[in-house]
Amino acid sequence: MTDATVIEDREMAYDPAVMPELYDGVRTRRIVAFCIDVCFILALMVLASMVIVILGIFTLGLGWLLLALVWPFVAILYTMFTLGGRHSATPGMRMTGIKMHTWYGEPIYPLLALVHGIGFWFSVVLLTPFILLVSLFSPRKRLLHDIVLGTVVIRDNL
């Protein structure tokens, strides 16, 4: 196989013109998956906060300094270990039947999931709800951070 063939095969991976069914309802499913994942993250944050409060009692209040780090660490680690896992999807994504891959068809790996999570939360904080507008004009229904990182979200149950 030549280099030109490999590049051509990569360009055809998950092409919306060839396989439009992969992108049917992805935007809506992604929003629902986000809401489900936020519930999981909030539950993990409450659990982590309770552990830190107990730790703070034993350390005479010193452990309570970690409370400020609960949100970023829980959200980023959740995304890194679930999206970068073997399913290439967070639990919310798996419940709604979608998964994430690179634009050329490879599954997401933990480092890319970490960068994607940071990019996602950064863009949500700064640009909400404008990040959803980008997906209205993208044939693969990708958000801005998906385009920058070269990822696509497709239906999993096809």
Q: If you average pLDDT over every residue of the chain, what do you get?
A: 87
Other Cβ atoms closer than 10 A to 90: 27
pTM, entire model: 0.84
The pLDDT tens digits for 59-75 are 988 989 999 999 889 99
Euclidean distance between CA atoms 83 and 118, whole angstroms: 12
The pLDDT tens digits for 132-147 are 788 888 888 888 888 8
State percent of the chain over pLDDT 70: 92
DSSP class of residue 60 equals T
The pLDDT tens digits for 22-43 are 889 898 999 999 999 999 999 9
Average pLDDT, stretch 14-22?
Answer: 84
CA-CA distances (angstroms) from residue 135 to 11, 22, 57, 143?
19, 15, 47, 5
Answer positive or negative: Cα dihedral of 70, 71, 75, 77.
negative
Answer positive or negative: Cα dihedral of 71, 152, 156, 105.
negative
> 4: pLDDT confidence band, cut at 50, 70 and 90?
very low
The pLDDT tens digits for 103-128 are 888 899 999 999 998 988 888 788 77
